[in-house]
Every structure is written in C-alpha cells, then in structure tokens.
Amino acid sequence: MSQGRVLLAVSGGIAAYKIPDLIRALKRAGHSVRCALTPAAGRFVTPLTLQTLSGEAVRSELFDPAEEGQIDHVALADWADVVVVAPATAHLLARMAHGLADELVTTLLLATRAPVLVAPAMNVNMWENPATRENCERLRARGVWFVGPESGLLACGWEGEGRMAEPAAIADAVERVLAPPSLRGETLLVTAGGTREPLDAVRALTNRSSGKMGFAVAREAARRGAEVVLVAGPSALETPPGVERVDVETALEMREAVFRALPRAGVVVMTAAVADFRPAQREQHKIKKEDLAEDAGLTLELVRNPDILAEVCRTPGTRTVVGFAAESRDVIEAARRKLRRKGCDLLVANDVSRTDAGFDTDTNAVSFVWPGGDVEELPLLSKAQVAAHLLDRVEKLREERA
Ligand code: C5P
C-alpha cells in the first residue's frame, strides 16, 4: 500500500454525506487527507465534520486571507499526490472539461499536476445527457480517472446510473492511482474492436465489438508505465493518454500491424473481435439489386481470415500472450478448448449472452482460464477494473518467468 497525500475536492451533491466515510477509509489506509469544498458543498456536509475527521484545516474560499495565510491554493495543489473529486457533480465535470477556474476547487484542479480521480454523482438523465457524456470523454482523454457512478435508486427518486461509487470503492481506486508504474520498461501490444471486411464500395461485414475492453487494457497499461501500441479496428473511442494507436479496418490489416509491432512487444493482449471470414472478393462498385434477376437472392462467398492470435502464439519468443474469447454457451469449456488450440498463456472468457457484459457495455463479467485448467471467475466489474485485474495477472506471470 502506497501512503499518499490525498486532496479531497468536494462538490455540492447529496452524495457528499458519504464523504466522512471516505475520509475515514483513506485515513485507515494510511493517507493524509486535506479537503477543499466548492461553495455549494458546505450545504451538504459541514466543514467542521471534514476538518475533525481529516485532522486538517478545510478550505472553501479562494481568496479568504485567513485560509490563504495557512496554505495558499497553489501550494495545496502542489501538495497533493492525487486529487479526488467526490462527489463530482455534472456542473463540476463541465467546468473541469472546459478548464474553468472560477472558485477554489476548479482552480486547484487546473493548478495541480497530480493525477485526478473523479467520482461522479448525479441524476441519471444528467449523467446520460450528451453534454455530460462529451465532458467525461474529454476528461478521460486527458487522463482523468473515473470511479463509478453506479446504478441504483437515486436521491432524486429516479432509478438508474448516477449513484456515487461507495467510499470503499473510491478508496480502492485511490490505491490504483497511487500504485507505482509497475510496467515501466515493458511494451504491450493490444488489439481492440471489431474488424470491418468490405463487400463492395459501401457495405461491409462487421460485428458489435465496441473496442471498450481493449482500450481499457491500453489505458491501464499506459498508466502503469508501459509503452503501448494499440491496434484498433474502426472505433470512435478516444485514444488513451500516452498510447500509440494504429487504426486498421480489416483482419489482414490488423495482422500486418500486429506483426509490425510484435518484435517490440513483451506482452500481447488480443481483445479484438476479428472477423473469421471475409468476402472472397470486394466489388469495386456497389452491388445493385437491379443488376440481379427479380426476386433473386444473393450468395456471398466468404474465405477464412488468418487467426492472428494463433499465429502470434506460434511465433518464437518469450512474450506473454493473452487471448479473449466471447462465448454465448458452455463458456468455460469453449474457452479451455480455445486456449489449447491457440496456445496462449492466459485466456479471458466472457459470456456475451449477458446484457451487462461483453459487447458495447461498460461492465464485463469474465473468467481467467489458465493452461493448467484452473479457472478464476471475477464478479461483474467495470472494464477498467477487469483491465487492472488482467494486468496484475500478467505482471505476476512476467515476474515468475524472469
Ligand atoms: O477464435 P475466436 O475468435 O473465438 O478467438 C478469440 C481470440 O482470438 C481473441 O483474442 C481474438 O482477438 C483472437 N483472434 C484473432 N484472429 C482471428 C480470430 C480471433 O487474433 N482471426
């Protein structure tokens, strides 16, 4: 456990009533905690409570001479090893996304060079609003960490996503942010997303993979100090900070990009949903039904794509190779067979028949299937958490082999 200096920025949401518990969890973990409040935060939790639990003066004004006299706001921003924003309201996220510095908390957030972890809390409609979505994407792209929000009954009476993560989960996330760069010196090659196999000038065969799992692995690996090459099928997701991204469309392009980066890679994680087949030929122009006999169907001839993962596993070297398997039935047995057939070091199996896991969700329920036959089943987690568990296992494997 790394003991750090946590600057806890509290904004004005009802979830602020949980902040005393968060302070206690952080103190129990050995961290020093200082609190800064937005003007509205003090309506939901008293500065006196926070001061008593943190054992430190609480700041809420940017220009109060008494507060500035104790420690000025830039010194406070510099003091932090991590800034935790909890609860982070929609308004605060918007102000962060736009780099405003209109009161103490936003000014601290702009001034700090420490990593920032936000725990959003708001009404589900505010959370799902495109404005909030865009603001969060921007913040993620800048390297801001997120924990939650979770689904459940909201204080406003609505039910849905928007509850602040529990204090224990926020405290866990702080540990992850403060963890040392354990993959420094490693190069990771990650594939993500689906491939798109063109049929004619306008149509293509593809699948529902969003790329979220692979992007989460790339983000986590970069955060742990690795050099990361992310070979991505078509995806609108933002490139995680510090990641080298290679965009590809087809399985053949993906294979080429993978083999180009492979000599550098000590670890390969293949989350991509690669099309197993592609049209035998790509028509230069759009196939028109008018060119076919009335009522005639159309038969496509498909040919096999290379199995990139199996080819990587057959390529001599000391790299660690992780495969993914999306299965809709007999998940574990299918994954065991796949692991044997492909020859990878670890296979991550997920059940895509669930609605809360697999394609295009933010959460995933996976099992790690090991060559010896052992299976480790993980609970439903965010894809970021799955990525962290996966890289913990990869690090252990690397250590054992070294
Ligand atoms: O055989 P299946 O597609 O289920 O295997 C999934 C695993 O194999 C994933 O890790 C995926 O990225 C990889 N794969 C590949 N090339 C293919 C098919 C799958 O690299 N043509």
Burial category of 109 from C-beta neighbours within 10 Å (exposed 0-12, middle 13-18, buried 19 and up): buried
CA of 273 to the centre of ligand 1 (A): 6
CB 191 near ligand 1, within 6 Å: yes
CB 218 near ligand 1, within 6 Å: no
Q: Give the pLDDT means over successive 10-residue stretches in the chain (402 positions).
A: 86 94 96 96 94 93 81 90 97 97 95 96 94 94 89 81 92 86 93 96 93 95 92 92 93 98 97 96 90 87 97 96 92 94 95 76 90 92 92 94 84
Q: Count CB-CB contacts under 10 A for residue 287.
A: 14
Ligand 1, atom nearest to 276 Cα: 21
User: How much is the pLDDT for 2?
Assistant: 52
CA of 121 to the centre of ligand 1 (A): 37
User: How much is the pLDDT for 1?
Assistant: 45
Most ligand 1 atoms within 8 A of CB, residue of 191, 274, 303, 333 to mutate: 274
CB 324 near ligand 1, within 6 Å: yes
CA of 277 to the centre of ligand 1 (A): 12
Candidates 308, 304, 241, 240; CA nearest to 268 is: 308
Ligand 1, atom nearest to 325 Cα: 6
Beta-strand runs (E) in 43-144: 82-88, 116-120
Could you tell me the two tokens for 103?
Answer: 């009161």
CA of 386 to the centre of ligand 1 (A): 19
Spatial distance between the Cα atoms of 37 and 365, rounded to a whole number of angstroms: 36
User: How much is the pLDDT for 69?
Assistant: 78
Which residue type is seen at 191? T
Q: DSSP secondary structure string, 116-156?
A: EEEEE---HHHHHSHHHHHHHHHHHHTT-EE---EEEE-TT
Spatial distance between the Cα atoms of 269 and 386, rounded to a whole number of angstroms: 13
Domains and CATH numbers, the chain: 5-178 (3.40.50.1950), 187-401 (3.40.50.10300)
CB 213 near ligand 1, within 6 Å: no
Contact 36, 7 (CB under 8 A): yes
CB 276 near ligand 1, within 6 Å: yes
Q: What is the DSSP letter of 204?
A: E
Candidates 359, 353, 347, 399; CA nearest to 383 is: 359
* Integer-rounded Cα radius of gyration of the chain: 24
The distance of Cα 361 from the centroid of its chain, to the nearest Å, equals 11
What sign does the CA torsion over 103, 63, 74, 44 have? negative
Burial category of 257 from C-beta neighbours within 10 Å (exposed 0-12, middle 13-18, buried 19 and up): buried
User: How much is the pLDDT for 295?
Assistant: 85
Q: How far is CA 123 from CA 143, 176, 363, 377, in A?
A: 24, 27, 20, 32
Q: What is the DSSP letter of 356?
A: S
Ligand 1, atom nearest to 327 Cα: 4
Contact 81, 110 (CB under 8 A): no
Most ligand 1 atoms within 8 A of CB, residue of 208, 213, 270 to mutate: 270
Could you tell me the two tokens for 304?
Answer: 């096999």
Strands 375-377 and 366-369: antiparallel
CA of 272 to the centre of ligand 1 (A): 7
CB 274 near ligand 1, within 6 Å: yes
pTM above 0.75, yes or no: no
Contact 76, 34 (CB under 8 A): yes
CA angle, 378 then 383 then 387, to 5°: 75
Spatial distance between the Cα atoms of 208 and 224, rounded to a whole number of angstroms: 29
Torsion angles phi and psi, residue 273, rounded to 5: -95, 90
Active site residue 344: no
Contact 235, 212 (CB under 8 A): no
Spatial distance between the Cα atoms of 96 and 103, rounded to a whole number of angstroms: 11
Candidates 34, 56, 58; CA nearest to 46 is: 58
First to last CA, the chain: 24
Ligand 1, atom nearest to 322 Cα: 10
Ligand 1, atom nearest to 347 Cα: 10
Q: How far is CA 285 from CA 203, 281, 294, 325, 356, in A?
A: 10, 12, 20, 35, 39
SS3 string, 262-296, reads HHHCCEEEECCECCCEEECCCCCCCCCHHHCCCCC
Category of 46 on φ-ψ map: left (φ > 0), alpha (ψ -120 to 50) or beta? beta
What is the SS3 assignment for 369? strand
Strands 320-327 and 363-364: unpaired
Residue with CA nearest ligand 1 atom 5 = 325
- Exactly one of 136, 156, 313, 344 is catalytic; which is it? 156
